[in-house]
A and B are shown apart, each in its own frame.
Chain A
Amino acid sequence: MTAHTSVIGTDFPVRDARDRVTGSIRFVLDHAVPDMAHARLVTSQLPHARIRSIDTDAATAMPGVVTVVTGADLVDRDGLDPYFGDQRADQPAIAIDKVRHVGEPVAVVVADSAATAREAALRVVVDYDPLDHVVDAEEALELGAPTLHDAHPGNDCGAWGLHRGDVDAALADADHVYRGTWTTPPGSHVPMEPHVCIARWEDEAHDGRTGNGDDRGHGGRSLHVWSAAQSPHAVRTALSGMFGLPEDDVRVEVGNLGGAYGAKGQVKIEPLVACAALVAGRPVRLELDRDEVFFTIGRHAAVVRLTTGMDAQGHIVARDVDVVYNAGAYAVTSPGATRQALVRAPGPYRLANVRLRSRAAYTNTVPTGPFRGAMTAQVCFAYESQLDDIAADLGIDPVELRRRNLLREGDVFATGEELEDVHFTSLLDDAATAIGWDEPLPATAPGRVRGRGLGIMLKSTITPSRTEVRLAVDTAGRIRLDSSSVEMGQGVTATLVQLVADWLEVDPDLVDVPAPDTARTPFDTTTSSSRTTFSAGAAVRDAIAALRDELAALAAGQWGCDRDDVEVDGGTVMRRADPASAVTWAELVAASGRDEVLVDGVFQSRDELDSTDPMDVHGRATVHWHQGAAAVEVEVDVETGRVTVERAHGNCWAGRVVSPLRVRQQNQGCIVFGLGPALFEQVVYEGGQFTNPNLSEYLLPSILDVPRDLTSSALEGGPDSELHGVGEMALPGLAPAIANALFHATGARVRDLPLTPERVLRALREAGATPDRATGTIPERASDPAGTGAGDPTTMGGASAHA
């Protein structure tokens, strides 16, 4: 046996790297099954309306059309509950009786070919009775607003609060009190691969039982689904509930995902496709058009009202945060996500007095769900922007002000929990150093000014959650890890190979990690919330301990010795007393007469917030806190209001890094992805219409937007540090970092995302920082960083560059 070389901490490549470059990897998009029919959606053109009738005759009459399915086909159908939802079963697979947002599926045309289905969908005529609609979340919470769901009066889609200390008294005693409102518009994830799903009803149960008639529902058949989904078991649970099937009779397979960022979490089009396949009596495939992807899921818009009290020494003495999230037309995760949002709202600061409120409202807009940096970017934009306003007002350097207030090891958080593994000051220092915080700003062309800014955040991860894995060794000595963690380019398959190989001390080439398939791979809550490296890692560790035990017991049985006398090494077992007794795992398994030795591993986080009183949420919010920061240097064109990010740095607390490459890709990916929501991405509703569901008008960052100088760092502990997921850490801080850099450069403060040229110009005018039309010169204000007075020694060192 050769000495084992650790692969944790190396840039171990994903196995299909070559296929990813040539294009031969397979997505669900590429999957097909025999006799498959194709679906096309008919979607609502109204934001809120009763459905009077749907005329499907002309569509149905077209040659090649199999059927047209509407909500009416789903109600009263034996054994089918047409509603689904992660936390509230409020969403119909296809609209029933009424529509609640533009783009909601009203009918599904199933045809022999996709082209025929598309043509026929144009011939479906829907007659509506329009209802009053509401787009804005705060309006939706007002008395008399249109109600979306009778079961949820007042459009309540989650409301949580907590109060620690005495905020009112502390604000009354504070030397300075700052109030502001920050907004984030609705957004869209825009994975390049659209949602795509195939559903097939099968006569044979997935465990090999044959159908035994109606007693198992739907003619004794089982349901087989291929879907581009981040949470295959959530899809299984939902479909099992809707169709009254045992979970084992629903099989969900997931291949490589062409991007997700939260868009493919929970359950999306699978119920609709499964219903269509049931009615059509054929396997059905649906691939969404781009506008339909926009209509399926989006990011929560938010209004954040933030009040912060300061003492004269620059310490935060009290903070009050009130956040209203726009849930869209269906709950998806909003009721629970607003509770997660609550604990993400105060920011990574010591707060003896803190009051938080987090609510979500149903509106007639696209349903929302977790979006990279979920329920964190919205609040981080507020608290990190406000902190720079405070710094300017108090004449304290923004980095120094943060340093005085950031959470430290052992501090008590808003939830009452004592914090451990806290690294905010290190992240702050890293971000400031990387961006050259104290260095002079470079010279700029006339009409351009530069500034620097940063933002730091804390984020909980989904808690509680569960991940199971299975680990097998076969008679060839190959090792297979069955895991339902979904590969979407973040490299989870390579990470899992690394962990298994490293901890088992075997050659990584011996380790296989097949794609998720709920018929074979065990339960996992979801691949999201930056939880997988940590939770799947913990499950793998558990499985490895079990495998060593199992192999030792097997050897002890074969050798007739005590299992404590057996030593399990990387790839071999031997009797301690007799090195010559060593046999390989392959030989051991073969001698046992079994095909493979199989063990289970489990991670289950048990901590949970206590929200018995939803207005007094407390307890432990997360298995561990995600921590990260972003810092930028921007150049502002004061004539056009255009902001260009010239330099950017993203960082995260990574605990123990499994792959430096993949951490860097996540940090840099956060920065690149985050440029869109910060600078130009927004869904625009007018009169309840979603006006820009396409990539011509909903702009994504291109390669030309990438900062010329883009860096990343991963802060690590020792070899015993916890593993951390790192998919979102640098993102929430980016938008406030850019807004703060704009403020630093010009004194202009924009409190609404995105930072469009129009908004920047308006803010420049308000700050008196637009160029003099006659002379073309920029007024003094624009060269006074952060408006703090260039003479103050605590202001940023870059100040002199503009003077």
Chain B
Amino acid sequence: MPDPEVATTKVRFDLNGSVAAVDAPIGQPLLTTLREGLGIRSARGTCGVGVCGTCTVLVDGRAASACLLMTQQVDGREVVTSEGLVGDHGELDEVQDAFLGANAFQCSFCIPAMVLTVRAHLDEHPDADAEDVREALAGNLCRCGSYPEILAAVDELVAARAADDVAARAADDAAVDREDPR
């Protein structure tokens, strides 16, 4: 609920593929705007200082701490939360699928943010190996100690992507062969 004393500005951004338009108090953290005004629940505040990673969202495809961003900073940009990774018909993103398959969660408070961090890293570095992704996850804390399952999920996912790559390259090669019978 905006405080009458606090100046607000209109902020428009793309949130999970739809337009979000809000009157946000100047300096209001993006996390507050998402949770209190826009019904987003998967981004969760924990440390308030950008070190725990549980409020991670994607801004123009890059992982960012929503507790540190002011709402005004995402004006005109594209914000994706965990909700936005789920397809229109409930299909899970490959990262979500990998986490689910590896039972990579306990209390689950930190998990959607972990998923987004992995998503962003793989999008930026499609050839990343499991070690790279592990490094990328260093800023996402899990107190239950689900890291072993999270690492297993990452291993599985990276291996599956590599296998898909090989298959795709083979298919491409086959297609090239057909186009160019030499």
Contact = CB atoms under 8 A, between A and B. Distances in A.
B48 to A, nearest CB: 5
A192 B52 contact: yes
B92 to A, nearest CB: 7
Contact of B145 (A63, A194, A488, A672): A672
Contact of B92 (A18, A62, A669): A18
B138 A113 contact: no
How many of chain A's residues touch chain B, expressed as a range? 35 or more
Nearest to A112: B1
Contacts of A665: 103, 106, 144-146, 149
Interface stretch (B2-10, B119-127, B159-167, B169-177): B2-10
B71 interface: no
Contacts of B44: 27, 29, 192-193, 258
A289 interface: yes
A220 interface: no
B98 to A, nearest CB: 9
A477 B4 CA distance: 54
Interface string A1-33: 000000000010100011011111111011000
A136 B111 CA distance: 38
A216 B59 CA distance: 54
Contacts of A525: none
Contact of A21 (B41, B52, B92, B142): B92
A63 B111 contact: no
B25 A115 contact: yes
How many of chain B's residues touch chain A, expressed as a range? 35 or more
B157 interface: no
A191 B52 CA distance: 11
Contacts of A193: 44, 46, 107, 109
A289 B108 CA distance: 19
Contacts of A21: 92, 96, 99-100, 104-105, 108, 111-112, 115
B96 A13 contact: no
Contacts of B151: 703, 706
Given A192-B52, A703-B151, A23 B41 contact: yes
Contacts of B109: 27, 191-193, 258-259
Interface string B76-89: 00000111011000
A490 interface: yes
B96 A670 contact: no
A702 interface: yes
Interface stretch (A313-321, A550-558, A692-700): A692-700
Nearest to B42: A23
Contacts of A673: 143-145
23 contacts: A17-B100, A18-B92, A21-B104, A21-B112, A22-B82, A23-B83, A23-B112, A26-B41, A29-B44, A114-B36, A257-B107, A290-B46, A488-B106, A489-B105, A489-B106, A665-B144, A668-B148, A671-B145, A695-B49, A700-B52, A701-B147, A702-B141, A703-B137
Interface of A: 11, 13, 17-18, 20-27, 29-30, 62-64, 112-116, 119, 189-194, 256-259, 261, 289-290, 488-491, 661, 665, 668-673, 694-696, 700-704, 706, 710
Q: Which 9 A-B pairs have the closest CB atoms?
A: A23-B42, A489-B107, A672-B145, A258-B109, A669-B145, A489-B106, A23-B112, A20-B108, A695-B47
Interface of B: 1-6, 25, 28, 32, 36, 41-49, 51-52, 54, 81-83, 85-86, 92, 96, 99-100, 103-112, 115, 134-135, 137-151
Given A20-B108, A23-B108, A665-B145, 8 more contacts: A17-B105, A119-B3, A192-B54, A194-B46, A489-B105, A669-B145, A700-B52, A704-B135
